[in-house]
Structure formats: C-alpha cells, structure tokens
Amino acid sequence: MLILRGGGLSWELTDSDPQQVGLAPKKIEALLPQAQRTAEIANEFVSQARTCLKNESLANMVLMRGFSQRPDIPFIPEIYKLKPAAIAIYPMYRGLARLVGMQILPAGGSITDQLESLHHHYKDYDFFFIHFKATDSRGEDGDFEAKVHAIEEVDAALPNLLKLNPDVLIVTADHSTPATLARHSWHSVPFMLRSRWCRPDDVSEFSERACLAGGMGRFPAVDIMPLAMANALKLDKFGA
C-alpha cells in the first residue's frame, strides 16, 4: 500500500494496472486538472520502484490501482453495538475490516488456520468476518477445476465451524467471478443464512441458481446486516 500525505493531493487518477497478463503497466493519468500533480508523483514513484526492483527475480515491478482517500465511514461498534473481528488472509480485506472498526486477528495461510484462529478467539468477540480469497483467485485464473477445489476446501472446513454453534451463520460473496469469464461479473451471488429463527425453505444445495429459488429471494446487500442482527435478536424492532 502506498500512502501519500500533503497538501494539494487528489485521488482522481487512473490505474497503472492493465488488468491483463503480458501487458505493460499503464501511465497514471489525472482525471481532473487538480489531480495532475498527484499523477506526476505517482508516476515518479513507479519509475523509481522499477529501478529499485529491476534485478529481483519475482517482484520486480509495482502496479497501482484503486486510488482513493480515506472515507468518513462509521464504525460497526458504533452502529450495531458489536465487538467485531476479522480473520482474512488477503491484505485488502484486512484493511477494509480495520476501516470499519474490526479487530484484525491472525489468519495464517489457509481456511484451516482461519478456523483455528476463530476457535481461539471465539469468546472474545461477538461478530466475526471470515474472508476466503481462493474462490475469487481461481475464478480470475479461469481455472474451473481449481475453483471447485477451493469451494470444497470451505465445505470440508464447515463442520469445524459449526461445532461453535453460532447464533447466526451467513455464507455469501461480495461478487461473482465466473471461471468462464476469468473476471468479476454482474451476476447475483448466492446467500445462505442459518439461525434458530430463520424459516427453512425447499433449497437443498448452495449455488447461484438454487439460491434464486430460496426463501430470501433477491435483495440488496445493504439488507444483510439488519437481517443478521434480527436473527441474532439484537434489534429492538425490524423495519418501520
């Protein structure tokens, strides 16, 4: 992560990441006139990084994408009165979790390690965000069989999670990454909610097509936290 501090900076920049293997990094461009100075600084950073890393055998260049400024986002503990923690391997999700007030816990390098961390810290927090990256990565690789294997890894780990008997368990995704497209897509993602208070439906498998016929139907992602809180009996009232 690159952090720029100072006056007159702007996040209105294009990425240097071409988003495709085999293509050279792009020049960072200003999207607005007031971002020109920041674009020059970012391009100079990339140029100097290239010089410093050129003799490395693996990481011999940097790619820059997702320029932003720190948003004013309220913390989860403030809104929901929870003590939340995140168990994520991928750095971006660790950063996002910290941004909304989650404590970052050790995640190791596998789903098994993540669940070990969950068991170890289970009594210390009342909300856990566990992120599994491999399904997205294998989808972006265009490797269907590897993506199936990644999903099976999670399937195999779930009994260990269920031993904790959480009040609410939600399994879903932040976006779809079909292996046939090898990139993020617009398709709806499956959603599963398990709690003592949820109504069972006739769906017996977890897939995009099966979940479309489920009792939850399709709904905006902004409804997930209210549904989770309601099923945990942590809301005084649901709805108006």
Sketch the domain layout of the chain as residue ranges. 1-69, 76-231
User: How sure is the predictor about 145, in pLDDT bands with cuts at 50, 70 and 90?
Assistant: very high
pLDDT tens sequence across 26-76: 999 999 999 999 999 999 999 999 999 999 988 899 999 999 988 889 999
pLDDT at 239 over 80: no
Give the three-class secondary structure for 86. strand
The pLDDT, as a whole number, for residue 238 is 84
Q: Name the one residue in this structure whose structure tokens are 């890894």.
A: 153
pLDDT of residue 224: 96
- Asked whether residue 98 carries a pLDDT value surpassing 80, the answer given is yes
pLDDT of 167 above 80: yes
* pTM (2 d.p.): 0.81
How many other C-beta atoms are found inside a 10 Å radius of the C-beta of residue 118?
A: 20
179, 149 Cβ separation under 8 angstroms: no
Q: How confident is the model at residue 236 (pLDDT cuts 50, 70, 90)?
A: confident
Question: 172-188 pLDDT, tens per residue?
Answer: 999 999 999 999 999 99
CB distance 17 to 65 below 8 Å:
yes
Angle separating helix axes 134-141 and 144-162, nearest 10 degrees: 170
Extended strands (E) in the chain: 84-88, 103-104, 127-131, 168-172, 191-195
Say if residues 73 and 98 touch (Cβ distance below 8 Å).
no
Is 76-231 in CATH node 3.40.720.10? yes
> Do 164 and 118 touch, CB atoms closer than 8 A?
yes
240: pLDDT strictly greater than 80: no
Span 152-169, mean pLDDT? 96
